[in-house]
Amino acid sequence: MPETRSAAHGSRSRVQHHQVGGEEAGVRLDKALARLLPSVPRTRIFRLIRKGEVRVNGKRCGPEQRLVEGDRIRVPPVRERSETAQAIATGTGPRVPPALIARVTAAIVHEDERLLVIDKPAGLAVHGGSGLTYGIIEALRAARAQETLELAHRLDRDTSGILMIARKGSALRILHELLREGRVEKSYLALVIGRWELGRKLVDVPLQTEARVGGERTVRVGEGGKSARTRFRLVQQFGARASLVEARLETGRTHQIRVHAAYCGHPVAGDLKYGDAAANAALRAAGLQRMFLHAHSVSFDWPQGGQVSISAPLPADLKAVLDALGTGAGPAAGAPPRATRSRTRAGRRRA
């Protein structure tokens, strides 16, 4: 069993010496700290690690370090940002609104003993932080208090579509390994500005994360950045105004599709950070009210056998934009399937 003991007094959180249990093995240090300090902003957690105030087995480490059962984490005292997040975690204060819990649970499109998959509505954050008290994971944890639920990956707040949540620590470790090794096929649909004439395009340029400002990260193409690969292909043209493309991720960097699309000269429609303000304003006449980026499908094989393959159609607000652009939402030849599907089969191998 994990062990946590504390000392110190006052308005600051107490020093913690936490021993990593079996279910936490393989979890990144920053994620483990977020669970240990639920009311502390993630920006503060990263700062504590960078300054060396957090130690694993007495040594400094990076936020990406994956924990091993038996590791001992020294967590320094920090001032609590607010009591709300702690109250959610302990059940001693305000609860996640029932309407949010109902909305999130209604969005579950796949469930098995290891995995939950959400067709995430646009506008919902995947977790609390940066001024937000609640997110999807907090709502799910409130609905399923007896389970250990963890985000397997993240989507931007304005992005809709497929989001995976692990129901077990062992499943989370496997999913993270599959994602790191590029063995999870993730496909997105994006409306980009202008006429896409690049055909099937592999964008292989590194991405570098700039310093956070007010909790917001900005990413740019940079030689000193991390390797990032995105495959684009045209799905449908809408004259010279816009193009619907499919983007397949071979890596999972922050804002990867958005930055790579802008690098190609075709920013994602409605993107306020990396996009084209004039083109976005013009597309509002077609009903575009948010970033046109949708996590369309995910597919992978469990190492123990069995395949998961799930897709979600464009939500009504994005489909209406395509209709308003004049050629309807019917896919061009070779476009991704539009029906939501979920299946798990043993023994099936992808070509």
Tell me how far CA of residue 273 lies from CA of 87, 88, 285, 290, in angstroms.
Answer: 33, 31, 20, 12
Comparing CA positions, the residue from 312, 315, 343, 307 lying closest to residue 118 is 312
Residues 162 and 212 placed together within one structural domain of the fold: no
Comparing CA positions, the residue from 296, 259, 344, 27 lying closest to residue 185 is 296
The pLDDT of residue 116 is: 95
- For residue range 168-180, list pLDDT tens digits in order: 888 988 998 898 8
Residues 10 and 149 placed together within one structural domain of the fold: no
Residue 144 pLDDT exceeds 80: yes
- The token pair that represents 286 in the structure block: 């077609």
Tell me how far CA of residue 292 lies from CA of 119, 189, 283, 296, in angstroms.
Answer: 15, 8, 11, 12
How many percent of the chain have pLDDT more than 70?
80
Compute the distance between CA of residue 292 and CA of residue 191 in angstroms, rounded to an integer: 6
Asked whether the beta carbons of 158 and 123 are under 8 A apart, the reply is yes
Question: Which residues are identified as catalytic?
Answer: 156
- For residue range 34-79, list pLDDT tens digits in order: 877 766 777 788 888 888 889 999 889 888 888 888 889 988 887 6
Whole-number CA gyration radius for the chain: 21
The pLDDT of residue 186 is: 94
Domain end residue (candidates: 17, 49, 81):
81
- The C-alpha torsion from 293 through 294 and 296 to 301, rounded to 10°, is 90
DSSP 8-state secondary structure symbol assigned to residue 62: -
Domain end residue (candidates: 181, 213, 241):
181
Compute the distance between CA of residue 125 and CA of residue 140 in angstroms, rounded to an integer: 13
- For residue range 186-216, list pLDDT tens digits in order: 999 999 999 999 999 999 999 988 755 555 6
- Taking residue 255's Cβ as centre, other Cβ atoms within 10 Å add up to 20
In a domain, residue 347? The reply is: no
Residues 336 and 222 placed together within one structural domain of the fold: yes
Residues 116 and 58 placed together within one structural domain of the fold: no
In the chain, how many domains are there?
A: 3
- Exposure string for 177-207, b = 16+ CB within 10 A, e = fewer: ebbeeeebebbbbbbbbbebebeebebebbb
Compute the distance between CA of residue 336 and CA of residue 244 in angstroms, rounded to an integer: 11
Identify the residue with better confidence: 74 or 269.
Answer: 269
- For residue range 295-324, list pLDDT tens digits in order: 999 999 999 888 999 999 999 999 999 999
- For residue range 8-34, list pLDDT tens digits in order: 333 455 677 888 877 677 888 988 888
Residues 289 and 216 placed together within one structural domain of the fold: yes
- The token pair that represents 288 in the structure block: 């575009």
Query: Where do the DSSP E strands lie in the chain?
Result: 3-7, 15-19, 55-56, 72-75, 108-111, 115-120, 150-151, 160-166, 185-193, 201-204, 207-209, 219-221, 229-238, 242-249, 293-301, 307-311, 341-345
Domain end residue (candidates: 181, 213, 234):
181
Asked whether the beta carbons of 243 and 258 are under 8 A apart, the reply is no
Output the pTM of the full model: 0.71
Q: What is the CATH number of the domain that holds 188?
A: 3.30.2350.10
- For residue range 87-138, list pLDDT tens digits in order: 444 444 447 889 999 999 999 999 999 999 999 999 999 887 656 678 899 9
Pairing of strands 307-311, 293-301: antiparallel
- For residue range 205-263, list pLDDT tens digits in order: 999 887 555 556 789 998 888 899 999 999 999 999 999 999 999 998 889 999 999 99
Residues 251 and 127 placed together within one structural domain of the fold: no
Asked whether the beta carbons of 250 and 200 are under 8 A apart, the reply is no
The pLDDT of residue 211 is: 58
Query: Where do the DSSP E strands lie in 257-318?
Result: 293-301, 307-311
Residues 111 and 22 placed together within one structural domain of the fold: no
The pLDDT of residue 196 is: 96
The pLDDT of residue 148 is: 83
Which structural domain range is residue 143 located in?
95-181
